[in-house]
Structure 1
Amino acid sequence: MAKNIEKIKTALLNAAKDGKLSCTAARKLAEELGVAPREIGQMADELKIKIYGCELGCF
């Protein structure tokens, strides 16, 4: 599990621009990493990354 956490954290930090990430990009990232969107959302919260343009209320 720790590997997944680090993998998600690294991917989010690389994908986020100015502390922000679009909903579309967050969902795509979840799919690429094989994790639930909720996990991306939780890590984004921990890293203070704002997910914007939410389309489905997942985040």
Structure 2
Amino acid sequence: MTVEVDKLKERVKEMAKDGKLACRVAFQIAEEFEVPPRKVGDAANELKIKIAGCQLGCFK
């Protein structure tokens, strides 16, 4: 795992509340790390964190 992926996962964990991450927050994290939103979704999935209030089904 790269340092960037580790930092991304750490940020997802920090921002998640009760095992959920708001969709808009996931997009903010993607912008912050300059990665596609899908990468944030993948990190959340690996951490067993659900994306809540998802827009347009961007995260699975």
Give the alignment's TM-score, normalised by structure 2: 0.91
Secondary structure in 2 aligned to 1:54?
A: coil
Unaligned ranges ≥5, structure 1 = none
Deviations 1:1-49 (A, max 9, x none): 6011111111001000111011101001100111110100001000000
- The runs of 4+ residues in structure 1 deviating greater than 2 Å are none
Note if 1:37 corresponds to 2:37.
yes
Q: Structure 2 CA distance, aligned partners of 1:8 and 1:2? A: 10
- Percent identical residues: 53
Equivalent in the alignment of 2:54 = 54
Equivalent in the alignment of 1:16 = 16
Q: Structure 2 CA distance, aligned partners of 1:9 and 1:55? A: 21
Unaligned ranges ≥5, structure 2 = none
Paired residues in the alignment total: 59
Give the alignment's TM-score, normalised by structure 1: 0.93
